[in-house]
């Protein structure tokens, strides 16, 4: 029975594991908005080769900086005569890859580091937490710039930077959750019954401590999307000609008056994606902590 309850570090309320978290999130308007928007974004990203009217890198001679709905270019063309709509659609892939895959890697590494820190002796715990403190002392964008400056610009390098930025955040969250969880009666009972340390960590403490980490995933994904867009905007992100919303915003700065959709569309997509992730994160937080989220 001990493994059928998930506890959160921010509330004493427990959520039965048999009750589906997705249903609890869907019951909230913010959760519905976030889930539907992210699902549509995922469909666009997966179906980009079929949804995009043109190759995102194709250049059309004599069709530079067209206005919307001209010669089949529904959102016009950019300064290099490329279709804006196609590039926006393919740019969805980059943002979702950074938001889901890279944050997922960073969260897994952070969870393992936090679990090891909380369950180890004071010396190793101190070393791990001081490293996390050093990383957290730098703003995310500055830490991302440092990582990219060492590894160089590119999609994979951005992924490493995002994972590196999120690792100490999840490590601290997990450590706090495990420290609370390890003092509960069922952990003491398992120790008395002869449960080994690794079995206790993996079988009982780890799944019951994730309640303090899960709500952070959606919020961290939104921050990661902004980090990638920021790095691409200053020229340290995705290498051209790979479509990136941040890169498109950078390239459109000199054409805001002549071709406003060049900046408005990728900026709006970036705003919508980050807002939906934040809404989903709020809904998950409320679902896992119903007393606090009421």
Model pLDDT for residues 123-174, shown as the tens digit of each residue = 898 999 999 999 888 888 888 888 888 888 888 888 899 998 999 999 999 9
Amino acid 42: pLDDT: 95
pTM score, whole prediction = 0.84
Task: Kindly state the average pLDDT of the residues 106-110.
Answer: 93
* Rounded-to-integer distance, Cα 256 and Cα 234, Å: 17
Beta bridge partners, 182, equal: none
CATH number of 2-293: 1.10.3720.10
User: Where residue 61 falls among pLDDT bands split at 50, 70, 90?
Assistant: confident
Q: Are 25 and 276 in contact (CB under 8 A)?
A: no
Q: Which DSSP string corresponds to 22-68?
A: HHHHHTSHHHHHHHHHHHHHHHHHHTHHHH-SS-TT---TT-TT--T
* Rounded-to-integer distance, Cα 148 and Cα 154, Å: 8
Task: Kindly state the average pLDDT of the residues 93-113.
Answer: 92
Q: Are 225 and 271 in contact (CB under 8 A)?
A: no
């Amino acid at each position: 029975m001990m493994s059928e309850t998930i506890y959160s570090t921010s509330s004493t309320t427990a959520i039965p594991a048999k009750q589906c978290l997705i249903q609890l999130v869907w019951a909230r308007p913010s959760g519905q908005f976030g889930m539907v928007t992210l699902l549509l974004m995922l469909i666009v990203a997966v179906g980009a080769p079929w949804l995009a009217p043109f190759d995102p890198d194709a250049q059309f001679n004599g069709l530079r900086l067209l206005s919307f709905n001209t010669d089949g270019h529904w959102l016009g063309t950019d300064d290099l005569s490329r279709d804006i709509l196609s590039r926006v659609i393919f740019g969805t892939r980059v943002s979702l890859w950074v938001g889901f895959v890279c944050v997922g890697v960073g969260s897994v590494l952070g969870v393992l580091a936090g679990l090891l820190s909380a369950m180890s002796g004071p010396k190793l715990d101190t070393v791990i937490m001081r490293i996390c403190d050093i990383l957290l002392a730098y703003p995310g964008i500055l830490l991302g710039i440092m990582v990219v400056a060492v590894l160089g610009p590119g999609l994979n390098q951005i992924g490493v930077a995002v994972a590196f930025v999120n690792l100490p955040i999840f490590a601290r969250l997990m450590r706090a959750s495990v420290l609370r969880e390890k003092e509960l009666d069922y952990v003491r009972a398992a120790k008395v019954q002869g449960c080994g340390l690794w079995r206790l960590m993996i079988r009982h403490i780890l799944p019951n401590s994730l309640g303090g980490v899960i709500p952070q995933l959606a919020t961290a994904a939104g921050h990661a999307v902004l980090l990638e867009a920021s790095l691409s905007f200053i020229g340290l992100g995705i290498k051209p000609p790979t479509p990136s919303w941040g890169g498109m915003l950078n390239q459109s700065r000199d054409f805001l008056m002549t071709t406003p959709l060049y900046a408005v569309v990728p900026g709006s997509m970036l705003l919508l994606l980050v807002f939906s992730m934040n809404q989903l994160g709020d809904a998950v937080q409320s679902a896992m902590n119903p007393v606090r989220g009421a």
